[in-house]
Amino acid sequence: MIRRSQLYVPAISEKMIRKSVELNADSIIFDLEDAVAPEDKEKARDLLVKLLKELDWGKRELCVRINSLQLIESYKDIATIGKEDKINCIVIPKAENDLSFLYMATGKFLIPLIETAKGMTKIEDIARSEGVSAISYGIADLSLSLGGDYTYYEKNEFVKTQIVITAKTYGVDAIDKVYFDLKNLEGFRMECEEAKKLGYLGKQVIHPSQIDIANQIFSPSKEEMEWAKRVIEAYEKAKIEGKGATRLDDKLVDYVHYKIAKKIIEFQNS
């Protein structure tokens, strides 16, 4: 599953749901949580069910962000979307515990969001739950839970790295958080580049203008593709000569570089 961009679409907005069909985000996340006012939850569920029947998003992943499992509202969300075949995946905000029950009950893949102090502490229990396919995090809620300042936490390398380490440990995708400043596309691009360097495979986005940038950054660049082809060629030639390591542009190339290069080519071909 390629998840370079995951677009949040408020489930209460008919206009945005319709618009999302023509946008090229890899995944769509219909939001029933914070983008829907408490008094509109029922209306949003009804609207989503109606439009899911009518519209066609093609083959891409369709997700629903439910309300927090601490709230009764979430069980109404689960009962509703559990019956919707077009929905492949459930995004769980403020995840704090094992989520296997949710996969067993619905058969849908799970993307937990780490966004509380307890969620950070229990991140391993969450990530290794059955059905988890990716993890992401929310920095505004996390800093609220910690009593900190979100503009400061936005840059926190510990949180960002911990998410990737745990995701890789349990073989699930790490997807970077949303970027709130809609006007600052340069800042958004920089945050995508930094996330990619840490090992993230994509970004959650909130506006159409962010989609193409995320898709571009989280795809292999021309330079990466060229590097990968040359590394594969050099390594395979060395292997025939009975060597496990070789020299390319005055840099060491061994099995680990070969594996990285293979991964880049595989992504491009997928």
Q: Which residues bind ligand COA (CB under 6 A)?
A: 7-10, 15-16, 19-20, 31, 34-35, 178, 206-208
Q: CB of 141: closest distance to Mg ion in angstroms?
A: 4
Q: How many residues bind Mg ion (CB under 5 A)?
A: 3
Residue with tokens 């070789």: 246
- SS3 sequence, 90-157? EEECCCCCCCHHHHHHHCCEEEEEECCHHHHHCHHHHHCCCCECEEEECHHHHHHHHCCCHHHHCCCH
Angstrom CA distances, 261 to 4, 21, 201, 233, 239, stand at 19, 34, 16, 10, 15
Nearer to Mg ion, 131 or 138 (CB): 138
Distance CA 64, CA 35 (A): 12
Residue with tokens 């995840």: 95
Which among Mg ion, ligand COA, none contacts residue 222 (Cβ within 5 to 8 A by kind)? none
Nearer to ligand COA, 22 or 157 (CB): 22
Nearest Cα neighbor of 87 from 124, 127, 57, 130 is 57
Nearer to Mg ion, 148 or 171 (CB): 148
Q: CB of 238: closest distance to ligand COA in angstroms?
A: 48
Nearest Cα neighbor of 228 from 266, 261, 267, 182 is 261
Q: In the range 208-237, which residues lie near Mg ion by CB under 5 A?
A: none
Nearer to ligand COA, 64 or 102 (CB): 64
Q: Which residues contact 215 (CB under 8 A, 6 or more apart)?
A: 4, 5, 24, 25, 26
Q: CB of 209: closest distance to ligand COA in angstroms?
A: 7
Which among ligand COA, Mg ion, none contacts residue 165 (Cβ within 5 to 8 A by kind)? none
Q: CB of 64: closest distance to ligand COA in angstroms?
A: 12
Q: Is 73 in the site for Mg ion (CB under 5 A)?
A: no
Distance CA 165, CA 172 (A): 10
Contact characters 100-129, Mg ion, x per CB under 5 A: ---------------x--------------
Nearer to ligand COA, 27 or 246 (CB): 27
Nearer to ligand COA, 31 or 61 (CB): 31
Which among ligand COA, Mg ion, none contacts residue 8 (Cβ within 5 to 8 A by kind)? ligand COA
Distance CA 140, CA 151 (A): 8
Q: What end-to-end distance do the CA atoms of the chain give, in Å? A: 9
Q: In the range 133-172, which residues lie near Mg ion by CB under 5 A?
A: 138, 141
- Interface residue list for Mg ion (CB under 5 A): 115, 138, 141
